[in-house]
Structure 1
Amino acid sequence: MRLLLVEDDQLLGQSMETSLSRCGYTVDWLQNGAGVLSALKMESFSCIILDLTLPDIDGLEVLAQLRKAKFQLPVLILTARDDIDDRVKGLDAGADDYLVKPFALEELMARLRVLIRRQSGYSDPLVSIGDLTLSMTEQSVTYQGEVVRLTHHEFKLLSSLVMQAGRVQSKEQLQQVLYGWDEGAGENAIEVHIHNLRKKLNGFPIKNIRGVGYLIEKSPQ
C-alpha cells in the first residue's frame, strides 16, 4: 500500500518514513501542503497522513482543498493539536481519523489498516479471494491452506492486486505501489515479481490484460 505523508518536522518525518516502510508501506513524503493536490492529480495513494501545522498552508485548508476536488481517499490527521475543537474541525472538514502526537507506532499502524481496508470494501483483517487469504496485520499469505513465503515487494504487489480486486492496474501504477517516487526500480521489475508470484501461488490466476495491466478477479475461476 502506498502512503502520502505530509509532515514538516524533519526528524519525525524521517522516522515515520523508515518505520512505515519497514511495516510494508511505500511512503512518499512532502514537507509542505502546496504539493498535495498536484501529487494526488498525478498519482495514486491508499491513504494520506496529514499534519495540520505546515509551514505554508494550514493542514485543514489542504484537507478542504482535496475534498473540494472530490478526492475520496482516506485522510488520517496526525497533529499536536489536541483540543476537542480541533478534533471536531478536522473530522468535520473530511478527515477519516485523528491521532494526536506523541503517538505509538502500533496504534498508527492499526488505524491505517482499518482505513485502507474500509476504503477497499473490507472490514475483516483477513482478506480472502478464493483459496487465497492475506493477513494485513501479520503481512502473511496462505494459499490452499498452506503458508506462502513472499518477499517484501511480492507481498506489497499481491496486496495491491487483492485490495483492488476486479480492477486492472497498469504496470506504472504497480511500480508506484512498490517504489513510489524512488527511481531505482528496474524496467522489468513488475514482470519479474508477477512471474515469481505466479510460481509461488501455483494455480491462482493473476491475469495479464495485454496492453493494459494486471488483474485479480473478485471470484477467480
Structure 2
Amino acid sequence: MKPIHGVKIMLADDEPHILQFLELGLINEGYEVRTAENGSDAVDLAKEFRPHVAVLDVMMPEMNGFEVCQSLKETEDNIAVIMLTAKDDVDDRVKGLKLGADDYVVKPFSFNELLARIEARLRNQFPDLLGEVVHGPFQVDDRRKEIRYQGQVLELSPTEYELLKFLVLNHGIVLSKSRILDRVWGYDFGGEDNIVEVYIRSLREKLKDKEHRVIRTLRGVGYRVDLL
C-alpha cells in the first residue's frame, strides 16, 4: 500500500532504541510520526497531534498501555490503537481488546509485520483516506459497501461483506475464529463459533473457491486469504 500524505502515527514506548528504529522506518515509508516515552506524555501528545494510529507498548511508566488505550478511545473521535506486548499472553490481548485496542503485536516483531498491521488499520478505519482499496483480484469500496472479485460485484449480505472485508484487508495474516467473532460479530455475540464456518462456506461458494485456494483453512489456527 502506498503511504497516504498526512497520515499521522504516534509511537509510545519507554525503550528509546525501539522508538528511534520504528520512527525512522515509518518516516521512510512516508508517514508523519511523533513519539512519547511514557503513558502520560502519550495522552498529552495525542490531544495535540491527533494521530490516526497509536502504537502503544503495554509496559510504560506513569500510565501503562492499557490505561492510555482506554483514555484515547474515550477522548479521540476515531483512532486506531495497536498494542505492543512483550509476551504472547492471551489475558493481555483480551484485556487490550476489551479496552478498545484494534490490534496487537507480540515482541519481538519485525518492522514489516508492524507496518502491515498499521496499513490494515488504516484500510479498516479510515477508508475515506484510501477510497477504493485494491488487493490482487479484490476491490473493496467501503463507502459503497461493495466488494468486487475479478471485476465482478459480489452479492453479499452485510455480515458477509464485513467478514470478507476483514479477511481481505488482513490478507496474508492468519485470523482465528475468536478474533473474527470479536471483529465481525462483536464481543457480546452469544452464539456458537461455528457461525464463522457457515459464513466462510457461503463466501467460498460466491467466490467459486471450491479448492479453498482463496480462503485457506489452517486447521486448529484459523483462516487466511491468499491473493492469487
CA distance in 1, matches of 2:77, 2:67: 14
Q: Identity of counterpart residues, as a percentage?
A: 36
Q: What SS does structure 1 have at the residue aligned with 2:47?
A: helix
Matches within 5 A, 1:1-221: 1-121=7-127, 124-125=133-134
Count of residues paired in the alignment: 129
**RMSD of aligned residue pairs (Cα, Å):** 2.3
1:162 maps to none
Cα distance, 1:69 vs structure 2: 2.2
Question: For residues 19-65 of structure 1, what are the alpha-carbon distances to aligned partners after superposition, in whole Å with 9 as ceiling and x for unaligned?
Answer: 11112212101001112232222232120001010021111011112
Which of structures 1 and 2 has the larger relative contact order (alpha carbons within 8 angstroms, sep 6+)? Answer: 1
Structure 2 Cα separation of the partners of residues 128 and 59 of structure 1: 32
In the other structure, the counterpart of 2:199 is none
Q: Distance in 1 between matches of 2:52 and 2:134?
A: 16
Instruction: Give the 3-state SS of the residue equivalent to 1:53 in structure 2.
Output: coil
Listed one character per residue, the Cα deviations across residues 82-115 of structure 1 (whole Å, up to 9, x for unaligned) are 2111111111110000110101111111111110
Unaligned 5+ residue runs, structure 2? 1-6, 142-228
Question: In 2, Cα distance between the equivalents of 1:101 and 1:52?
Answer: 11
CA distance in 2 between counterparts of 1:33 and 1:112 reads 20
* Distance (whole Å) between structure 1 residues aligned to residue 126 and residue 71 of structure 2: 23
- Separation in structure 1 between the aligned mates of residue 76 and residue 31 of structure 2, nearest angstrom: 24
User: Unmatched 5+ residue regions in structure 1?
Assistant: 130-221
Tell me the distance in 1 between the aligned counterparts of 2:24 and 2:45: 21
For residues 54 and 114 of structure 2, the distance between their equivalents in structure 1, rounded to whole angstroms, comes to 12
Residue type of the partner of 2:10?
A: L
Give the structure-2-normalised TM-score.
0.52
Report the AA paired with residue 51 of structure 1: D
CA distance in 2, matches of 1:17, 1:125: 27
CA shift in 2, pair 1:53/1:125, >3 Å? farther
Please state whether the residue corresponding to 2:22 is helix, strand or coil: helix
Taking the aligned partners of 1:33 and 1:45, their CA distance within structure 2 comes to 15
Corresponding residue of 1:137 = none
Structure 1 residues 79 and 125: alpha-carbon distance in aligned structure 2, compared to 1, 3 A threshold: farther
- CA distance in 1 between partners of 2:70 and 2:20 (Å): 26
Instruction: Please tell me the residue identity of whatever aligns with 2:45.
Output: A
Cα distance in 1 for residues equivalent to 2:113 and 2:76 = 28
CA separation in 2, counterparts of 1:81 and 1:25?
Answer: 28
